Amino acid sequence: MNVRNRWILLLAAPMAVALTLAAACGGTSSTDKTATAAAGGAGTTPTSTQTGGLPADAAPASQQKITMQSTEPQFYDPHRSNFEQDIAVERMLFRGLYNLTDDGSGGVKVVPGDAAGPPTISGNVYTVKLKSGLKWSDGKALTAADYVYGFQRECDPTVASPYQYVLGAGLGDLKGCDELFNNKDATKTQALKDALGVKALDASTLEFTLNRPVATFETIWSLWATFPSRQDVIQKFGDKWTDPGNIVVNGPFTMSELVPKDHVTLKPNPEWSGQKPAIQQLTIKFIDDLSAALKSFQTGELQMTAIQPTDVKVVKGDPSLSSELVIDPTARITAIEMQLKDPALAKFDVRLALSRAIDRKTLVDVVFDGVYTPATYWVVKGLKGFQGNSAFDSTIGFDKAAAQAAMASAGYPNGQGFPTLKLTLTDTPSNRNLADFLIKQWKDNLGITVTPDFVDGKTRSQRFNSGNFQLFPGGWQLDYPDIENPLVGLFDTGGGNNKYNCSDPAIDAAFKEATNATTEAARIAAYQKVETLVVTKLCGVAPIYQNAVPYLVNAKVGGVVPNGTIDASGPGTYCVECWYVKK
């Protein structure tokens, strides 16, 4: 080979690499076009008159643009969603029969959404009238049949909704939903769908048949899993029905652009009959790294973002950023979860010693810069039936002497002879701080050795769900704002989420009392009894703090109404139509 040929080959080699890669990648993408196309009929730019009455301090419509941070949603289909980032966007795109809103005192209340009012109840039959004039984003009327189809999808095993169980036994108890979901014989599917306890009596009347009266009907029927769906659209586009250009929605916004892994852009839905959104363009950037998001907020590229609790100190020290800080408590309690099958942890006194040895206030101040709230309660603040620290501090709260006495009473004075326990955590910087703090507290106050076991998130979850753990800083994030949600299934003998192996006849009896309660007050009182028994007996959990999510909201963004203690998906995402950009 002569020299000239060698140089040609040298040039050809990278070209060959590039061509091979291009072939492997398939060249230009037809899907990309779909993903960036304007949203069909719903993509019409709303006129300024459609924005309705803007607040007096609102900037002109042309400046009503916001870019916010979020983790990337997995799906935009309410019947397939499992994560709060999905649900936050879905509540912008869709609405259900009922809505959740801030009750003004840190909690949440249910208000009618597409429903004209509360249901009419006759035994197990709940009848709901729809508001008049409801439309989908393509201009077609929204009817009761769209809701019926939505419920059929939710209970359909081929859709495989992760939240089907909220309509199943013990919760929503919609007649026939579990039977349809558990069916594996395709020939029976249609008959089971027809037998489902939801009927359209006429275009604007829905009738639900439940297996029992459900006190939380309106709350559960406000969840994303109960949102309506358009049968014609889903049948036409299949799994691609949520792509821009295909998606048809009934909420305040519609999707105008989606670039997977990067961002989704929403525009006002011109057919939305509720409060007209002021924001004309809402871009949601998918950013997992909250430190990066904080920098982008500082450069003005983001107007709203969540930040890490560990960044709060820095933000509070910055005169400009501190005025833009919003800390929303979330409906999540973190506890030291304990495996009761473990011989050491089976002893109540050991659990009591471990709980009483933790100085929760110092923990929150030192590890989380005071962002979280120290807690010995399990039912979160904001829920009806909340009992708070005053009910439990004296029993399980920090008290070094009491902790040492309990350890001695368990047969391990000054920790002598106590086995080494393992604390399983996901490997993150803040969890490393948390582990250091807890281990030192137990060492200093009880004289025992606990070793950290850092693993990745999925391994940790797998160990927890298989009961393969001893001490596990975990907790419960509410699915819906009702006192039953953090209790049912977690502490009843054989409960699906009872990974602690908590089994106590008194707790089981209190659960029965709650199920059989005939009044709301009696139901709440019975669940308070469950919480009291669970916490004072440390039946698997020793609560340590209630979580919160700190956000930065640009001073120019107004109308950010707190969600109330229910969801951490973003500041005020439940009323996105309330947001506006100030002058």
Partner 1 sequence: MDPMAAYALRRLLWAVPVLWAVATITFFLMHAVPGGPFTQDKALPPAVNDALNRRYHLDKPVWEQYGLYLWDSVHGDLGLSFQGDRSVTEIIRNTFFVTAQLGVLGFLVAVVIGMTLGTMSALNHNGPLDYVGVAFSTIGASVPSFIMGAFLVIFFAVDLGWFKTLGWGGPRHLTGLLDPFAWDWRRMVLPVVAISTLPTAFIARITRASVLEVLNQDYIRTARAKGLAEVRVVLRHTIKNAMIPVLTLMGPIFANLVAGSFIIETMFSIPGLGRELVNAVIRRDYAMIMGTTLFFTLIITLANLAVDLAYAVVDPRIRYR
User: Under 8 Å CB-to-CB from 377, ≥6 apart: which residues?
Assistant: 333, 386, 387, 388, 389, 391, 392, 531, 535, 543, 546
In the chain, the amino acid numbered 300 is G
Q: How far is the CB of 31 from partner 1 (least distance, A)?
A: 5
Q: How far is the CB of 95 from partner 1 (least distance, A)?
A: 22
Q: How far is the CB of 462 from partner 1 (least distance, A)?
A: 4
Nearer to partner 1, 283 or 389 (CB): 283
CA distance 507 to 399: 26
Of the candidates 496, 431, 485, the one whose C-alpha atom is nearest the C-alpha of residue 457 is 431
Nearer to partner 1, 285 or 523 (CB): 285
Instruction: Calculate ∠ Cα 531-173-214, nearest 5°.
Output: 60
Q: Is there a contact between 227 and 95 (Cβ–Cβ < 8 Å)?
A: yes
DSSP code of 119?
P
Q: How many CA atoms lie within 13 Å of 264's alpha carbon, on the beta-carbon side?
A: 25
Q: How far is the CB of 294 from partner 1 (least distance, A)?
A: 9
Q: How far is the CB of 400 from partner 1 (least distance, A)?
A: 31
User: Under 8 Å CB-to-CB from 512, ≥6 apart: which residues?
Assistant: none
In the chain, the amino acid numbered 526 is A
Q: How far is the CB of 160 from partner 1 (least distance, A)?
A: 4
Q: How far is the CB of 94 from partner 1 (least distance, A)?
A: 17
Q: How far is the CB of 339 from partner 1 (least distance, A)?
A: 15
Burial 518-555 (b: 16+ CB within 10 A, else e): eeeeebbebbbbbbbbbbebbbbbbbbbbbbbbbbbbe
Q: How far is the CB of 519 from partner 1 (least distance, A)?
A: 29
Q: How far is the CB of 28 from partner 1 (least distance, A)?
A: 5
Nearer to partner 1, 72 or 359 (CB): 72
CA distance 533 to 509: 11
Nearer to partner 1, 24 or 401 (CB): 24
Nearer to partner 1, 522 or 555 (CB): 555
Both structure tokens of 562: 């707190």
DSSP code of 184?
-
Q: How many CA atoms lie within 13 Å of 89's alpha carbon, on the beta-carbon side?
A: 30
CA distance 414 to 443: 10
Could you give the 3-state DSSP secondary structure of residue 312? Answer: helix
In the chain, the amino acid numbered 188 is K
Any idea of the CA torsion for 353, 358, 360, 365, to the nearest 10 degrees?
180
CA distance 414 to 258: 60
Nearer to partner 1, 147 or 297 (CB): 297
Nearer to partner 1, 286 or 454 (CB): 286
Nearer to partner 1, 68 or 130 (CB): 68
Q: Would you call 238 exposed, middle or buried from its count of C-beta atoms within 10 A (0-12, 13-18, 19+)?
A: exposed
Q: How far is the CB of 314 from partner 1 (least distance, A)?
A: 12
Q: How many CA atoms lie within 13 Å of 48's alpha carbon, on the beta-carbon side?
A: 8
Nearer to partner 1, 79 or 230 (CB): 79
Residue count (the chain): 583
Nearer to partner 1, 20 or 493 (CB): 20
User: Under 8 Å CB-to-CB from 443, ≥6 apart: which residues?
Assistant: 449, 450
In the chain, the amino acid numbered 71 is T
Could you give the 3-state DSSP secondary structure of residue 121? Answer: strand
Q: Which residues pair with 421 in a beta bridge?
A: 450
Nearer to partner 1, 176 or 559 (CB): 176
Greatest CA separation for the chain = 95
Q: How far is the CB of 362 from partner 1 (least distance, A)?
A: 26
Nearer to partner 1, 115 or 180 (CB): 180
Nearer to partner 1, 80 or 523 (CB): 80
Q: How far is the CB of 488 from partner 1 (least distance, A)?
A: 13
Terminal C-alpha separation, the chain:
72
